[in-house]
């Protein structure tokens, strides 16, 4: 019988919602989907609060039941920035969406990896601040053939992920230089995947040579962000205003961007078992780094940790939880030649 293995980073277990202290609550901007169980319960709540519950629900364009937001907030977020549903009905009766966020589980049949979303300010602070917070050594090989996907391909991906992590974690080099190496290596591994060469020895044959090339302007990254699905227009104006700012990286910012990059790798790399795409992840890390580091300069956050957390969290909130944006990135990275691996390496 197969035994499922579960892997939790330490910060996952230590996470505690900041509740009323949260600077950007998850009840803001995003739809809250009311799942069937919660809806059945709300339908039997009597009195004024029961009426408010049912009158606050509509069906959205996807056919989901969602709360009707007031001033971009969930109608049950009270003046103390606490949830009235939790206060009046108990934590067990909030919707699944609210109970689970920012917790994420990624199920690969033989094993499951758990993660927190960077879009939550408290989770972002924990992820960005920590040292050695990701341990990718928990799984390097799978054992079973009956997981519903190719064992050979998964072991190939685990090997490639391990080497990518090694490149990104090499703090004898600057983050910028590690990112160049990561993009070039990922391009090579993507080529093997495209040719269906799932040979772990081939991955190890890769040799990287950092060559000094004339720098290329990276304004196209900011131009592309203007076409994404954005919730906060002020935020995107701030992104564009930062287009000519370049951060002088420091030990702290290098460590923070390393953690951000490892978060993307941990969260998305193994999705390639279904979509055969790893290069999009490296390019999304690149975009996140370019935009967040430039905003750090534009907002004067070089010496302000809390501001840098807010910049990385807000970027994740705008970019990561939108199906449209995920699709857009994938297509743009193929169609727009500015985003070729060779060209983006020249901008770093």
Q: In angstroms, what is the C-alpha Rg of the chain?
A: 22
Decide if residue 17 touches ligand SF4 (CB under 6 A): yes
- C-alpha distance from residue 179 to each of 119, 175, 256, 291, 337 (Å): 22, 6, 13, 14, 19
Q: CB of 332: closest distance to ligand SF4 in angstroms?
A: 28
User: Could you say whether residue 278 binds ligand SF4 (CB under 6 A)?
Assistant: no
Give the shortest CB-225-to-ligand SF4 separation in angstroms.
22
Cα distances (Å, whole numbers) of residue 159 to 124, 178, 203, 233:
27, 18, 8, 41
Of 17 and 299, CB closest to ligand SF4: 17
Nearer of residues 9 and 102 to ligand SF4, judged by Cβ: 102
Q: Which stretch binds ligand SF4 (CB under 6 A): 120-128, 164-172, 193-201, 273-281?
A: 120-128
Helix (H) or strand (E) holding 98: helix 96-100
Query: Which lies closer to ligand SF4 via its Cβ, residue 17 or residue 216?
Result: 17
312-330 b/e with 16+ CB inside 10 Å = b?
Answer: bbbbbbbbbbbeebeebbb
Q: Which of 5, 7, 11, 18 binds ligand SF4 (CB under 6 A)?
A: 18
For the bound state, the minimum distance from the C-beta of residue 290 to ligand SF4, rounded and expressed in Å, comes to: 25
Q: Is 101 in the site for ligand SF4 (CB under 6 A)?
A: yes
Name which of 261, 263, 262, 2 is nearest 108 in CA terms.
2
Please identify which residue in 26, 74, 179, 189 interacts with ligand SF4, judged by CB under 6 A: 26
CB of 174 to ligand SF4, least distance (A): 31
Taking CB under 6 A as the criterion, the residue among 67, 85, 118, 122 binding ligand SF4 is 122
CA–CA gap between residue 170 and residue 27 (Å, rounded): 38
Could you give phi then psi for residue 66, rounded to 5 degrees? Answer: -135, 155
CB of 47 to ligand SF4, least distance (A): 27
Stretch that binds ligand SF4, among 44-52, 57-65, 118-126, 166-174 (CB under 6 A): 118-126
d(CA 132, CA 258): 10
Q: What does DSSP say about strands 65-67 and 103-107: parallel, antiparallel, or unpaired?
A: unpaired
Please select the residue that binds ligand SF4; options are 32, 95, 118, 120, rule is CB under 6 A: 120
231 vs 241, which CB is nearer to ligand SF4? 231
Number of residues binding to ligand SF4, judged by CB under 6 A: 11
CB of 62 to ligand SF4, least distance (A): 22
Dist CA 182 CA 344 (whole Å): 12
- Of the candidates 85, 97, 102, 160, which one interacts with ligand SF4 according to CB under 6 A? 102
Q: Give the DSSP letter string of 167-234.
A: HHT-TTS-HHHHHHHHHHHHHHHHHHHHTT---HHHHHT-------------HHHHHHHTTS--S-HH
Residue 85 as a binder of ligand SF4 (CB under 6 A): the answer is: no
The least CB distance from residue 76 to ligand SF4, in Å, is 13
The stretch near ligand SF4 (CB under 6 A) out of 17-25, 181-189, 295-303, 304-312 is 17-25
Residue 338 CB neighbour total at 10 angstroms: 17
DSSP H/E element including 66: strand 65-67
d(CA 322, CA 282): 18
Is position 129 an interface residue for ligand SF4 (rule: CB under 6 A)? no
Cα–Cα nearest to 120, from 310, 291, 326, 292: 310
Single residue of 9, 25, 179, 311 touching ligand SF4 by CB under 6 A: 25
Comparing C-alpha atoms, which of 243, 228, 226 is closest to residue 291?
243
Q: For residues 259 and 280, which CB has a smaller minimum distance to ligand SF4 in the complex?
A: 259
Cβ closer to ligand SF4: 76 or 339? 76
Contacts with ligand SF4 by CB under 6 A lie at 17-19, 22, 25-26, 101-102, 120-122
């Amino acid at each position: 019988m197969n035994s499922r293995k579960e892997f939790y980073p330490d910060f996952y277990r230590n996470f505690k919602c900041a509740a009323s202290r949260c600077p950007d609550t998850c009840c803001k901007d995003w739809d809250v989907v009311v799942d069937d169980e919660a809806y059945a319960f709300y339908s039997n709540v009597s009195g004024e609060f029961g009426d408010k519950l049912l009158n606050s629900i509509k069906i959205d364009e996807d056919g989901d039941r969602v709360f009707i937001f007031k001033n971009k907030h969930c109608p049950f977020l009270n003046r103390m920035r606490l949830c009235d549903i939790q206060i009046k009905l108990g934590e067990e009766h909030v919707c699944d969406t609210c109970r689970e966020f920012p917790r994420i589980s990624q199920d690969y049949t033989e094993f499951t990896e758990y993660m927190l979303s960077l879009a939550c300010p408290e989770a972002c602070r924990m992820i960005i601040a920590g040292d050695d917070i990701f341990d990718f050594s928990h799984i390097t090989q799978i054992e079973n053939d009956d997981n519903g996907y190719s064992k050979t391909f998964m072991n190939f991906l685990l090997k490639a992920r391990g080497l990518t992590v090694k490149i990104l974690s090499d703090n004898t080099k600057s983050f910028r230089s590690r990112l160049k190496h990561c993009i070039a290596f990922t391009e090579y591994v993507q080529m093997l995947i495209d040719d269906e060469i799932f040979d772990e020895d081939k991955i190890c044959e890769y040799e990287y040579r950092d060559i000094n090339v004339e720098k290329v302007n990276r304004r196209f990254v900011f131009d592309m962000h203007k076409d994404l699905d954005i919730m906060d227009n002020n935020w995107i104006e701030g992104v564009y205003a930062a287009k000519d700012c370049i951060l002088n990286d420091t030990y702290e910012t290098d460590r923070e961007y390393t953690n951000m990059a490892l978060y993307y790798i941990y969260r998305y790399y193994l999705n390639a078992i279904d979509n055969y795409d790893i290069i999009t992840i490296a390019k999304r890390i690149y975009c996140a780094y370019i935009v967040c580091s430039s905003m750090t300069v534009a907002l004067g956050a070089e010496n302000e940790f809390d501001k840098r957390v807010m910049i990385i969290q807000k970027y994740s909130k705008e970019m990561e939880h939108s199906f449209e944006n995920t699709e857009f990135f994938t297509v743009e990275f193929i169609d727009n030649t500015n985003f070729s691996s060779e060209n983006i390496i020249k901008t770093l």
